[in-house]
């Protein structure tokens, strides 16, 4: 189970990993906590009045297309996008949005999904949300809450029979080590580095770097990941930075998607190359 804040997050973080496990006959469910109703249109070709006026509906259709490409199951938890507040001072979040929900209210649909789908592994964001969007930070909180509560029969009554997931991971999508390796290969070929500004911002903000405990080789599925990203046409410019590094460099520099093992109820040896390490042995016994 991959828990995400908005439509398109599932395609920009961990998508190739999910496709790999789908091809290995795992059942994969993406839970999208909000509808992305307050998302900006980031692809200039899609910035039209009829799309701006119906952005929530458009993003649901984009999610359906991406879901088919990835081969995963997907469901919406039903909360409303909080938007990304900007300004100094920051404006208050909109009334009723996801990030302002009480923790138990925000977590209940995810507990219900865990008890219904019965995942062994859950993937989510770290305490910073991967980046400090209020919905991403709330996504972390509800994922941890649901992971801890889903197996407890006394918590969240009426949401199904208890089920305890066995491992909880955080995405480590933007490690400095990865950027530096890509930069080195780009320099060798005399190519510009599209990530230069990102790297500078990360250094300026002293961005926290989680230990990578688990590297999942999935470069075979990078093209599928990119097709799913492009399906989110309001959010992803096909001529933008996501696709600026040649595929062969991406594969040579960093053929994995990376994770930090935050919780494990099974024995496993670090570092790992499989999210199901320890789970397969536990389930067999």
- Binding residues for Zn(2+) are 6, 9, 136
Facing residues of 75 across strands? 31
The dihedral region occupied by 96, where left means phi > 0, alpha psi between -120 and 50, and beta the remainder, is left
Q: Binding site: what residues are annotated? A: 6, 9, 136
Q: What is the largest CA-CA distance in the chain?
A: 60
Under 8 Å CB-to-CB from 207, ≥6 apart: which residues? 176, 201
DSSP H helix total and E strand total for the chain: 11, 7
Pairwise CA distance, residues 170 & 28, whole Å: 16
Pairwise CA distance, residues 215 & 61, whole Å: 32
């Amino acid at each position: 189970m991959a828990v995400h804040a908005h439509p398109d997050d599932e395609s920009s973080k961990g998508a190739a990993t999910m496709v790999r496990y789908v091809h290995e006959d795992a059942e994969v469910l993406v839970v999208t906590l909000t509808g992305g109703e307050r998302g900006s249109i980031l692809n200039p070709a899609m910035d039209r009045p009829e799309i701006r006026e119906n952005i929530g509906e458009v993003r649901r259709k984009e999610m359906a297309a991406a879901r088919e490409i990835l081969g995963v199951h997907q469901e919406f938890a039903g909360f409303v996008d909080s938007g990304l507040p900007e300004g100094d001072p920051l404006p208050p979040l909109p009334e009723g949005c996801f990030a302002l929900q009480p923790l138990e209210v925000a977590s209940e649909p995810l507990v219900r999904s865990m008890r219904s789908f019965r995942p062994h592994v859950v993937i989510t964001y770290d305490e910073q949300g991967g980046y400090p969007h209020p919905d991403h930070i709330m996504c972390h909180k509800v994922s941890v809450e649901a992971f801890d509560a889903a197996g407890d029969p006394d918590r969240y009554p009426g949401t199904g029979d208890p089920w305890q997931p066995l491992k909880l991971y955080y995405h480590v999508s933007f490690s400095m080590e990865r950027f530096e390796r890509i930069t080195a290969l780009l320099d060798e070929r005399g190519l510009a580095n599209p990530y230069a500004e990102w790297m500078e911002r990360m250094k300026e903000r002293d961005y926290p770097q989680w230990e990578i405990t688990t590297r999942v080789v999935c470069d075979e599925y990078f093209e599928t990941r990119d097709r799913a990203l492009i399906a989110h046409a309001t959010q992803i410019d096909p001529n933008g930075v996501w696709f600026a590094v040649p595929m062969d460099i991406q594969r040579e520099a960093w053929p994995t998607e990376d994770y930090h093992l935050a919780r494990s109820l099974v024995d496993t040896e670090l570092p790992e190359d499989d999210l199901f390490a320890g789970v397969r042995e536990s389930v067999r016994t």
